């Protein structure tokens, strides 16, 4: 069996050795465990917010009252506090943007039940929910607006545009130990904010690295009707200049991949050969005709790997009363809608990831291991009350690896119109050989090529530029 090794990159000066695909090598050498991170935590008196407290503070910052309302709360009165340009805002440095929070699993039995998997590990989908809200928290705290009075809610709204990369280490988090979320702003545009978020869990007194992700957020005005300028990010030293340069490389890579997508460009000659070989291998040699295909031995039709579900997006909020060891009366919230009465992006990420895992489980006949998530795009917001359909399928395999695509769309029961809201790409590893998938149409062949590209980038087999 050929074993591929995910390319590793130094992140946060060796503090985070997180798996990243070769095109997205990310190195933050200016923020060190023994210096900046430790110092910033001391500035917080050693006390970190819980992720539930982050949610509550976020709502307070937005000036949003608890409870679902069919009519939106007007925030138009806040527009006058928005700056007209970046020049009206003070610049920020990367070190100033650091934020941290905790998931207090060690003291909350009920919280453990929410996060635990059947094997006693932490459910990755739950972590996706927390990472999404925390990335937005990092972005919101980045904005320093002198025009906003201290007792007035923020005139900004932060939305998730895409998740560039989420990579996982070999460490398997347990459901009985605290998990720490940390994050910084690693790049900004006029109204865009790139945040880097990483997760660690305490084991034997040491923080073990779990995962790292790059989120691209957008700042919108109070009515979500247009963009809003954010503070410029300046380099405080040469190392921060390197961080900004690497973010620019990622930006160019995203543009390169968009322009070279199979939706915009004919596949490369070598990819066309791959498609033709798939066709030739599926021709019935006993009766060779173009219009008849047979399934080669040891393969399955791509369409047969498909699994689907439909979710009715209720405006659900659950309040859990926890009974931790030394913290009586502690509460946390489980929210399926975000602060703007849209379906919470983290909820979508969790649902898609858990469907992808099921697809991989059915296909490989083993519990697959999640290696990488790439290119999660948020194309359209999902309104509360929508019928959200998710379809997952294996679109490419290589040895014991599977590339799984999950497609999310909102369907109108009245018109039947379907609108794509999200696309998710996952790379899973199985303990044994994964059955090859065979496309049966040209559309499926393009999905196969797209999956092959994602797999090669994740494994560092081919650069995207």
Dihedrals φ, ψ of 358, to 5°? -65, -40
Ranges 160-164, 252-256, 327-331: which has the least confidence? 327-331
**Segment 385-399, tens digit of pLDDT:** 788 899 999 999 999
**Segment 263-299, tens digit of pLDDT:** 888 999 999 999 999 999 988 777 777 777 889 999 9
Dihedrals φ, ψ of 18, to 5°? -100, 140
Tell me how many helices (H) and strands (E) the chain has.
8, 19
Mean pLDDT of all residues in 163-174: 90
Is the Cβ–Cβ distance between 222 and 159 less than 8 Å? Answer: no
The vertex-127 CA angle with 122 and 132, nearest 5°, equals: 180
**Segment 391-428, tens digit of pLDDT:** 999 999 999 999 999 999 998 888 888 899 999 999 99
The answer to whether residue 316 scores a pLDDT higher than 70 is: no
The better pLDDT of the pair 379, 33 is held by: 379
Q: What is the DSSP letter of 415?
A: T
Choose among 442, 432, 449, 297: nearest CA to 361: 432
Choose among 431, 436, 460, 464: nearest CA to 450: 464
pLDDT over 90, % of the chain: 55
CATH topology for 8-458? Thiol Ester Dehydrase; Chain A (3.10.129)
- Alpha-carbon dihedral 105, 109, 111, 116, rounded to 10 degrees: 80
pLDDT over 70, % of the chain: 82
Q: What is the DSSP letter of 30?
A: S
pLDDT score, position 71? 60
The better pLDDT of the pair 434, 33 is held by: 434
The better pLDDT of the pair 155, 385 is held by: 155
The DSSP line for 62-101 is HTPPSS--SSPPP-GGGGGGS-SSGGGS--EESGGG-EEE
Q: Side-chain half-sphere of 395: how many Cα atoms within 13 Å? A: 27
The better pLDDT of the pair 312, 131 is held by: 131
The vertex-422 CA angle with 306 and 452, nearest 5°, equals: 55
Q: For residues 206 and 199, what is the distance between their CA atoms, to the nearest angstrom?
A: 13
Mean pLDDT of all residues in 186-202: 95
Give SS3 for 234. strand
pLDDT score, position 63? 79
pLDDT score, position 22? 34
Domain boundaries, the chain: 8-458
Give every CB contact of residue 189 below 8 A, 6+ residues apart in sequence.
none
As beta bridge partners, residue 411 has: 418
CA-atom Rg of the chain in angstroms: 23
Give me the sign of the Cα torsion angle 107, 110, 111, 116: positive
C-alpha separations of 424 from 376, 393, 410, 430 in Å: 5, 11, 15, 19
Dihedrals φ, ψ of 363, to 5°? -75, -45
- Mean pLDDT in the chain? 82
Is the Cβ–Cβ distance between 189 and 48 less than 8 Å? Answer: no
Q: For residues 215 and 188, what is the distance between their CA atoms, to the nearest angstrom?
A: 11
């Amino acid at each position: 069996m050929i074993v591929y090794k995910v390319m590793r990159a130094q992140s946060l000066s060796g503090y985070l050795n997180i798996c990243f695909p070769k095109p997205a090598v990310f190195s933050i050498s200016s923020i060190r465990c023994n210096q900046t991170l430790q110092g910033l935590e001391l500035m917080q008196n050693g006390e970190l917010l819980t992720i539930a407290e982050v949610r509550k503070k976020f709502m307070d910052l937005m000036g949003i009252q608890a409870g679902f309302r069919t009519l939106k709360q007007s925030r138009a009165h806040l527009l006058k506090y928005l700056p007209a340009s970046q020049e009206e805002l003070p610049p920020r440095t990367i070190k100033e943007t650091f934020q941290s929070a905790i998931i207090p699993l060690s003291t909350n039995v009920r919280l453990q039940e929410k996060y635990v998997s059947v094997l006693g590990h932490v459910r990755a989908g739950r972590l996706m929910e927390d990472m999404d809200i925390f990335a937005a928290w990092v972005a919101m705290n980045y904005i320093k607006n002198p025009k906003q009075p201290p007792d007035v809610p923020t005139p900004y709204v932060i939305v998730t545009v895409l998740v560039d990369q989420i990579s996982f280490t070999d460490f398997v988090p347990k459901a009985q130990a605290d998990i720490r979320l940390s994050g910084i702003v690693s790049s900004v545009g006029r109204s865009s904010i790139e945040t880097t978020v990483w997760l660690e869990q305490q084991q034997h007194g040491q923080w073990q690295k779990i995962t790292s992700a790059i989120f691209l957020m957008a700042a919108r005005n109070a009515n979500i009707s247009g963009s809003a300028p954010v503070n410029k990010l300046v380099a405080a030293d040469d190392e921060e200049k390197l961080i900004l340069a690497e973010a620019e490389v990622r930006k160019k890579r995203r543009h390169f991949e968009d322009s070279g997508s199979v939706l915009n460009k004919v596949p490369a000659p070598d990819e066309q050969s791959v498609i033709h070989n798939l066709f030739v291998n599926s021709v019935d040699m006993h009766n060779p005709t173009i219009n008849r295909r047979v399934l080669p031995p040891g393969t399955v039709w791509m369409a047969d790997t498909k699994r689907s579900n439909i979710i009715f997006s209720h405006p659900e909020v659950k309040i859990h009363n926890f009974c931790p060891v030394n913290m009586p009366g502690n509460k946390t919230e489980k929210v399926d809608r975000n602060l703007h009465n849209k379906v919470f992006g983290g909820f979508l990420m969790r649902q898609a990831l858990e469907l992808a895992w099921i697809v991989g489980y059915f296909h490989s006949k083993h519990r697959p291991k999640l290696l990488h998530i790439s290119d999660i795009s948020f194309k359209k917001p999902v309104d509360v009350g929508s019928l959200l359909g998710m379809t997952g399928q294996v679109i490419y395999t290589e040895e014991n690896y599977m590339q799984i695509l999950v497609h999310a769309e909102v369907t109108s029961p009245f018109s039947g119109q379907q609108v794509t809201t999200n696309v998710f790409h996952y790379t899973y590893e199985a303990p044994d050989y994964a059955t090859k998938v065979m496309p049966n149409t040209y559309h499926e062949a393009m999905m196969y090529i797209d999956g092959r590209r994602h797999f090669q980038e994740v494994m560092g087999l081919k650069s995207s530029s």
